[in-house]
Amino acid sequence: MKGEKLRNLSFFLSPMIIMVGLFYLIPLIFTIYISFTKMRNWNIERYLTEVVGFYNYQRLFHMFQHDPLMRTVLLTTIVFVGITLIINVFGGLLLALGTFFINESSASAIRLLWLLPRMSPIAVYSLVWYYFFHGSNIGTLNSILMKLGVLSQPVPWGQIVPWGAWSIIIFVNGLVGVSFGMIVFTSALNQIPKELVIAARVDGASAWQISRKILVPMMKWHFLYVLTWQFLSLLTTYPHLFLLVQWDLVSRDYGTTLALYVYNTAFGRGEQDQGLAAAAAVLLSIIGILGGFVTLKVLQFEKMIHEPRGDIE
């Protein structure tokens, strides 16, 4: 019986195990190995077997201590992930709660509107905001403010450091991320028995009181999921940032997070240093694991897990 159960589990789990092994585990092991080599310019024949121990990690920490550019990258990463995470999680929660109390047709239209950034190709979506925040007369924001008499000349918003550049990358990525939280929280709200809300309405409770006392406490699991997922996603995302920096919309220094630094170091122009990039990627993974673990502990993930009520033998 036990052997049969093991065979059944292996049959159903094998596709997932193979995919995780091929696309996550093997690349992770390979990245860790490269971080201990002198690999550069993708010269595999020359550098792949040249192991240098912790040299790349020592270089990385030396740069964090003495290189102003690396300290800027680290600070930008902290600000970008921290503020965008708050916008994504609480923005999605507010949108889900806001559309919960209005009629379904209006709610669907609002949700669809907020999904447009998610459905748009990254290049198209980034191009929209490139022209909106452009630092010359062609920039939509500058044109509007100049016509209103607020500005007398165009302002290069993305080159105002640090907060001009940070505001743009946070705003652009925040709009994309809000839709994810909105979908998850909306799904959670639809699973809550309507009788609870109707009974609270009969007792005279306002929308705010219903949200605070009934709806939000029943979405702890979904809140934890969105928070953890968005944290890990923001820590490693860089496509929108890459385009905004490449197009010189935002300052190169204050528009580069650690994830974008890894990409530029491994695949960017000029000399490519895959050993250093791999070390930074490993550090980024460790930060992600520790951050996810802390999030689960703070929100008491273990208390949300219950033993199954029935026998699943």
What is the rounded CA–CA span in Å between residue 88 and residue 223?
Answer: 11
What is the rounded CA–CA span in Å between residue 235 and residue 229?
Answer: 10
Task: Read off the pLDDT of residues 221-238 as tens digits, 9 standing for 90 and up.
Answer: 888 889 988 998 999 888
The total number of structural domains in the chain stands at: 1
Residue 35: per-residue pLDDT: 93
Task: Read off the pLDDT of residues 34-55 as tens digits, 9 standing for 90 and up.
Answer: 999 999 888 888 888 889 999 9
Task: Read off the pLDDT of residues 235-251 as tens digits, 9 standing for 90 and up.
Answer: 988 889 999 999 999 99
Inside any domain, residue 288: no
Q: Is the pLDDT of residue 107 over 90?
A: no
What is the rounded CA–CA span in Å between residue 13 and residue 34?
Answer: 30
Q: Is the pLDDT of residue 310 over 80?
A: no
Residue 2: per-residue pLDDT: 66
Q: What is the gyration radius of the CA atoms in the chain, in angstroms?
A: 24
Q: Which two tokens stand for residue 182?
A: 């909105």
Q: Indicate which CATH number applies to the domain containing 255.
A: 1.10.3720.10
Residue 24: per-residue pLDDT: 87
Residue 145: per-residue pLDDT: 93
Residue 300's identity, in one-letter code, is: Q
Cα 156–Cα 159–Cα 163 angle in degrees, nearest 5: 110
DSSP 297: H
Residue 115: per-residue pLDDT: 86
Inside any domain, residue 281: no
Q: Is the pLDDT of residue 199 over 60?
A: yes
What is the rounded CA–CA span in Å between residue 31 and residue 270?
Answer: 21
Question: Whole domain around residue 86: which residue ranges?
Answer: 68-272
Residue 225: per-residue pLDDT: 87
Inside any domain, residue 309: no
Q: Is the pLDDT of residue 279 over 80?
A: yes
Q: Residue 37 burial (CB < 10 Å; 0-12/13-18/19+)? A: buried
pLDDT band at 132 (very low <50, low <70, confident <90, very high): very high
Mean pLDDT value of segment 277-301: 86
Q: Which two tokens stand for residue 254?
A: 């204050």
Residue 93: per-residue pLDDT: 93
Mean pLDDT value of segment 280-302: 84
Inside any domain, residue 167: yes
Q: Which two tokens stand for residue 168?
A: 């743009």
What is the rounded CA–CA span in Å between residue 113 and residue 178?
Answer: 12
Q: Is the pLDDT of residue 118 over 60?
A: yes
The chain-wide mean pLDDT, for the chain, equals 88
Residue keyed to tokens 């505001």: 167
pLDDT band at 295 (very low <50, low <70, confident <90, very high): confident
Task: Read off the pLDDT of residues 87-100 as tens digits, 9 standing for 90 and up.
Answer: 999 999 999 999 98
Contacts of 125 (CB under 8 A, 6+ apart): 117, 172, 176, 240
Mean pLDDT value of segment 107-118: 86
Cα dihedral 122/126/128/130 (nearest 10)? -160
C-alpha pair distances (Å), 53 with each of 1, 237, 280: 49, 28, 15
Contacts of 257 (CB under 8 A, 6+ apart): 73, 76, 77, 80, 81, 238, 241
Given a contact cutoff of 8 angstroms between Cβ atoms, the answer to whether 230 and 181 are in contact is yes
Residue 305: per-residue pLDDT: 64
Q: Is the pLDDT of residue 160 over 80?
A: yes
Q: Is the pLDDT of residue 260 over 80?
A: yes
What is the rounded CA–CA span in Å between residue 63 and residue 70?
Answer: 6
Interhelix angle 122-132/140-147, nearest 10 degrees: 30
Mean pLDDT value of segment 154-169: 92
Mean pLDDT value of segment 280-284: 93
CA 287 to chain centre: 14
Task: Read off the pLDDT of residues 181-196 as tens digits, 9 standing for 90 and up.
Answer: 899 999 999 888 888 8
Inside any domain, residue 24: no
What is the rounded CA–CA span in Å between residue 69 and residue 159?
Answer: 16
Inside any domain, residue 61: no
Residue 215's identity, in one-letter code, is: L
What would the DSSP string read from start to end of 11-46?
A: HHHHHHHHHHIIIIIHHHHHHHHHTTB---TT-HHH
Q: Which two tokens stand for residue 250?
A: 């935002």
Inside any domain, residue 112: yes
CA 23 to chain centre: 20
What is the rounded CA–CA span in Å between residue 302 and residue 297?
Answer: 8
Inside any domain, residue 88: yes
